[in-house]
Amino acid sequence: MTASPPLQVRHEDRKAKKAITDVKFAPSGGVFAMASEDGRVYIHDAADYALRTVCTKMPTAIKTLDWSLDSK
């Protein structure tokens, strides 16, 4: 068995004020979402990691999220 190459940091961001609790890529592969304990969901472009939008703040932590089949 050959050894796998070490993992590398591809992007680092600090927009969330608390811990990230879930990360999911949309089925289209074009964007991904990060749920946070700060009550927000951050949507990023999958190609360059640019922040596309921040969803409206919820009053409690967001623990998990999912995409619909049409990537909405």
Three-state SS annotation for 23-39: EEECCCCCEEEEEECCC
Q: Identify the pLDDT of residue 27.
A: 96
Residues 6 or more apart in contact with residue 13 via CB below 8 angstroms: 44, 49, 51
Q: Identify the pLDDT of residue 50.
A: 95
pLDDT (tens digit, 9 = 90+) per residue, 53-63? Answer: 999 999 999 99
Short-list 23, 28, 54, 50, CA closest to 41: 54
Q: In what order do the strands lie in the sheet with 41-45?
A: 20-25, 31-36, 41-45, 51-54
pLDDT (tens digit, 9 = 90+) per residue, 3-46? Answer: 889 999 888 888 898 999 999 999 999 999 999 999 999 999 99
One-letter amino acid for residue 8 of the chain: Q
